[in-house]
Chains A and B, each alone.
Chain A
Amino acid sequence: MTETTKPKFTCRDVRVHYGDFEALHGIDIDIPDHGVTAFIGPSGCGKSTFLRTFNRMNDTIDGCRVSGQILMDGEDIYDKNLDPVLLRAQVGMVFQKPNPFPKSIYDNVAYGPRIHGLTSSKAELDVLVEKSLRRAGLWDEVKDRLKLSGTGLSGGQQQRLVIARAIAVNPEVILMDEPASALDPIATAKLEALIEELKERYCIIIVTHSMAQAARVSDKTAFFYMGDLIEFDNTDKIFTNPGNDRTQDYITGRTG
């Protein structure tokens, strides 16, 4: 990752309110393209809330308001003329708990391409489904049972299925909200290897509670505390020589 590339997201004074409660107090951050940015911080620090501003998932929550400016490739994603539906096709999301739809594995992956009309024939869709499952590292495990329900897979497989589902609509960004928190260590290792591969192609932002995970998979790390962005730097720097005492306290386990 080079420092000279243009940022994927440029955020200025981003504030999020739930009713009268201000969850984020003016965040300024530039998220680089093609790389993994990790958000860490104690529970309730606002990192998941911040993640959900990038695909406007906060819009679906009653009483949630976002102010400030978030530019994606220089375009304001909170512009009144911007359709959140199109934004979400470009910014995929993977959730904490694997949430495959109660449909077949094939239909799970084909869901996004179908609603967006990305393919014009069954053959084309077949190709896209296979490509997405391959990229998510799941193809070899499921190629013989594409018609079986996605909910019958193991937790780790489900999470990779959900990633395949997100990849299938050809996004530029993939948001991951604690994607490994419901997985066992082996499934987690597979998921992290997958993230390593995906970052060549996509901008990945991952929220995680595991500092070891942040250190392993991310290029840049942002530390959030009580709704503020405390520190944002290269992951190596954050974990070896943090510039802020609170970051130091958190990563060494004194707070959090």
Chain B
Amino acid sequence: MGQISIYMMLLIAVLTIGGFVYNRSSALGKFRAARAAAGGKMVSSAWHSQASYHGYFTAWLVALSTLAVFIIGLVINGQGMVFNGLWLAAIILTALGVTIITGRKVSGTFRARTYVERFIHGLLICLSVIAVLTTLGIIASLLFESLRFFREVPFMDFLFGLQWSPQTAMRADQVGQSGSFGAIPVFAGTFLIMLVAMAIAGPVGLMIAIYLTEYASAGVRKWIKPAIEILAGVPTVVYGFFALLTFAPFVRGFAETLGFSVPTQSALAAGVVMGVMIIPFVSSLSSDVINSVPQTLRDGSYALGATESETMKKVVFTAALPGIIGAFMLAISRAIGETMIVYMAAGKAANLTANPFEAVTTVTVQIVALLTGDSDFDSAKTLVAFALGLVLFVITLILNVVALTVVRRYRARY
């Protein structure tokens, strides 16, 4: 079945190309004949559509009609289909028929170009609809699976519960082990790590952006900008083992000299390394924004006797603020959704704590842990992953909406 489908698709492609070639050359032939009849004085723009448009018109119709026949065949044949001569013949005959009929229509007045433009227009609409439908599909799937979960675990218990131990739910045979799905510790961990990461990436990224746009010479900028952008290209798994094997022991050693006893996996280790990872997002987005502040504003400030740093703080920064907020929001979404670093370096223990030296877990880590390995897709233990995903989705959505509103309200009109 699979193989036959592939051959059929190849055949459709060949027939489509054939239709194009056949009708383009037939259009060329008719055009040359018309020109000869006009004593060689006719120019190509005397025809509504160029020859290749007649070809494309045929190709589109052939592709669409044969695909339709192909799909009808699939439906009729069903699953247990083997080679079917009638099906093959139907496809070939459809293609030939369409090619010949459209070939007859080729003339100086036939508006092939207009139809081709319309086909392309339609195709583009279809493709964007696919993107929208995919988004809607993901939301719907999250919603419905979450609803199934909330049938087993009350919504309020999930959203405001302080105890997270989903693993025990697998052992329903054991009396009294029903598992607890309080999501607060998981989200607290996510936000703790996000805060640590933004505490690093926010100021550092912003300062880099300011330095690069306002102070650095062209030569320095040429070297520093790509060097920072390399940070964005490092795979997150590399950051993950860097966090786990290099940075976490360092944090632990440092904390021990201060007299704390600290686990190797900690919110601090994961957060700092994640902060380093998102520095380039903040710095390159903010520097674009700062760059787009018009020079006339800077000149106006200098002309009033302001220094470079006064101009930066009071004029350029204010003007760029909406964009900088946007950059921060994007970085926050990135930090919340990041999985690999926290999976390796933050730990899996759902501690409800504000102490960055402790191990915490995040939403993404829990989703991975819940859905990997042997699991029954109908149990609360796996369904809770959808609920976590849904809440995470809603949170990032709210963040984006807030960011957009802030940006719109304070947007400077230069």
Assuming A111-B314, A151-B414, is B299 touching A85 (CB within 8 A)?
A: no
Judge whether A1 is part of the interface by a CB distance below 8 angstroms.
no
| Interface SS, B side | helix
Residues on B with beta carbons closer than 8 Å to the beta carbon of A111: 301, 304, 306, 314-315
8 A Cβ contacts from B134-189 to A: none
Residues on B with beta carbons closer than 8 Å to the beta carbon of A149: 412-413
The smallest C-beta distance from A242 to any residue of chain B, in angstroms, reads 32
The smallest C-beta distance from B93 to any residue of chain A, in angstroms, reads 68
5 pairs of A and B residues whose beta carbons are closest in the complex: A102-B412, A89-B305, A93-B303, A88-B305, A99-B296
Asked whether, in the complex, the Cβ of A102 is within 8 Å of the Cβ of B305, the reply is no
Mark contacts of B384-414 with chain A using CB atoms, 8 A cut-off: 1 yes-contact digit, 0 otherwise: 0000000000000000000000000000111
Asked whether, in the complex, the Cβ of A60 is within 8 Å of the Cβ of B307, the reply is no
Mark contacts of A53-92 with chain B using CB atoms, 8 A cut-off: 1 yes-contact digit, 0 otherwise: 0010100100000000000000000000000011111001
Assuming A102-B318, A151-B412, is B302 touching A88 (CB within 8 A)?
A: yes
Our pick among A92, A102, A152 for the contact of B303 (Cβ within 8 Å) is A92
Judge whether A103 is part of the interface by a CB distance below 8 angstroms.
yes
8 A Cβ contacts from B243-302 to A: 294, 296-302
Asked whether, in the complex, the Cβ of B414 is within 8 Å of the Cβ of A162, the reply is no
Judge whether B229 is part of the interface by a CB distance below 8 angstroms.
no
Assuming A101-B315, A103-B318, A111-B314, is B413 touching A55 (CB within 8 A)?
A: no
Assuming A102-B413, A115-B310, A151-B412, is B303 touching A57 (CB within 8 A)?
A: yes
Q: List 22 A-B contacts (CB under 8 A).
A: A60-B298, A60-B302, A88-B302, A88-B304, A88-B305, A92-B303, A93-B303, A95-B299, A97-B296, A99-B296, A99-B297, A101-B315, A102-B297, A102-B319, A103-B318, A111-B301, A111-B315, A115-B305, A115-B306, A115-B314, A165-B300, A165-B304
Judge whether A116 is part of the interface by a CB distance below 8 angstroms.
yes
Q: Which residue of A lies closest to B302 (CB)?
A: A60
Mark contacts of A179-218 with chain B using CB atoms, 8 A cut-off: 1 yes-contact digit, 0 otherwise: 0000000000000000000000000000000000000000
Our pick among A88, A97, A151 for the contact of B413 (Cβ within 8 Å) is A151
Assuming A115-B310, A151-B412, A151-B413, is B303 touching A101 (CB within 8 A)?
A: no
Residues on B with beta carbons closer than 8 Å to the beta carbon of A55: 303
Assuming A99-B299, A115-B310, A115-B314, is B413 touching A92 (CB within 8 A)?
A: no
Residues on A with beta carbons closer than 8 Å to the beta carbon of B300: 93, 95, 99-101, 162, 165
Residues on B with beta carbons closer than 8 Å to the beta carbon of A88: 302-305
Asked whether, in the complex, the Cβ of B306 is within 8 Å of the Cβ of A101, the reply is no
The smallest C-beta distance from B339 to any residue of chain A, in angstroms, reads 39
Asked whether, in the complex, the Cβ of A115 is within 8 Å of the Cβ of B412, the reply is no
Looking at B300, B307, B319, the one whose CB has the most chain A CB atoms below 10 A away is B300
Judge whether A229 is part of the interface by a CB distance below 8 angstroms.
no
Q: Which residue of A lies closest to B321 (CB)?
A: A102
Residues on A with beta carbons closer than 8 Å to the beta carbon of B294: 99
How many positions in chain B have a CB within 8 Å of any CB in the partner chain?
Answer: 21
- Name 14 extra pairs, CB < 8 A, besides A85-B307, A101-B319: A57-B302, A60-B298, A88-B302, A89-B304, A89-B305, A99-B294, A99-B297, A99-B414, A102-B297, A102-B318, A111-B306, A112-B304, A165-B300, A169-B305
Our pick among A60, A100, A115, A152 for the contact of B304 (Cβ within 8 Å) is A115
Q: How far is the CA of A195 from the CA of B318 in the complex (A)?
A: 31
The smallest C-beta distance from A147 to any residue of chain B, in angstroms, reads 14
8 A Cβ contacts from A32-59 to B: 55, 57
The smallest C-beta distance from A181 to any residue of chain B, in angstroms, reads 13
Q: Which residue of A lies closest to B304 (CB)?
A: A112
Asked whether, in the complex, the Cβ of A85 is within 8 Å of the Cβ of B305, the reply is yes
Q: How far is the CA of A92 from the CA of B178 in the complex (A)?
A: 76
Residues on B with beta carbons closer than 8 Å to the beta carbon of A99: 294, 296-297, 299-300, 414
The smallest C-beta distance from A5 to any residue of chain B, in angstroms, reads 26
Residues on B with beta carbons closer than 8 Å to the beta carbon of A151: 412-414
Q: Which residue of A lies closest to B413 (CB)?
A: A151
Judge whether A166 is part of the interface by a CB distance below 8 angstroms.
yes
Looking at B296, B298, B304, B414, the one whose CB has the most chain A CB atoms below 10 A away is B304
Residues on A with beta carbons closer than 8 Å to the beta carbon of B296: 95, 97, 99
Asked whether, in the complex, the Cβ of A166 is within 8 Å of the Cβ of B413, the reply is no
Residues on A with beta carbons closer than 8 Å to the beta carbon of B301: 101, 111
The smallest C-beta distance from B4 to any residue of chain A, in angstroms, reads 65
Asked whether, in the complex, the Cβ of A166 is within 8 Å of the Cβ of B303, the reply is yes
Q: How far is the CA of A101 from the CA of B303 in the complex (A)?
A: 13
8 A Cβ contacts from A111-126 to B: 111-112, 115-116
Looking at A85, A101, A116, A169, the one whose CB has the most chain B CB atoms below 10 A away is A101
The smallest C-beta distance from B312 to any residue of chain A, in angstroms, reads 12
Residues on A with beta carbons closer than 8 Å to the beta carbon of B298: 60
Q: Which residue of B lies closest to A56 (CB)?
A: B302
Q: How far is the CA of A154 from the CA of B303 in the complex (A)?
A: 22
Asked whether, in the complex, the Cβ of B305 is within 8 Å of the Cβ of A86, the reply is yes
The smallest C-beta distance from A99 to any residue of chain B, in angstroms, reads 4
Q: How far is the CA of A36 from the CA of B413 in the complex (A)?
A: 32
Asked whether, in the complex, the Cβ of B305 is within 8 Å of the Cβ of A101, the reply is no
Q: Which residue of A lies closest to B303 (CB)?
A: A93
Asked whether, in the complex, the Cβ of A92 is within 8 Å of the Cβ of B304, the reply is yes
Residues on B with beta carbons closer than 8 Å to the beta carbon of A103: 318
Q: How far is the CA of A99 from the CA of B298 in the complex (A)?
A: 9
Looking at B300, B305, B314, the one whose CB has the most chain A CB atoms below 10 A away is B305
8 A Cβ contacts from B353-395 to A: none
Q: How far is the CA of A166 from the CA of B304 in the complex (A)?
A: 6
Q: Which residue of A lies closest to B306 (CB)?
A: A115
Q: Which residue of B lies closest to A59 (CB)?
A: B302
Q: Which residue of A lies closest to B322 (CB)?
A: A102
Q: Which residue of B lies closest to A102 (CB)?
A: B412
Q: Which residue of B lies closest to A113 (CB)?
A: B304
Assuming A101-B315, A102-B319, A112-B304, is B414 touching A60 (CB within 8 A)?
A: no
Q: How far is the CA of A89 from the CA of B305 in the complex (A)?
A: 5
Mark contacts of B55-76 with chain A using CB atoms, 8 A cut-off: 1 yes-contact digit, 0 otherwise: 0000000000000000000000
Mark contacts of A144-180 with chain B using CB atoms, 8 A cut-off: 1 yes-contact digit, 0 otherwise: 0000010110000000001001100100000000000
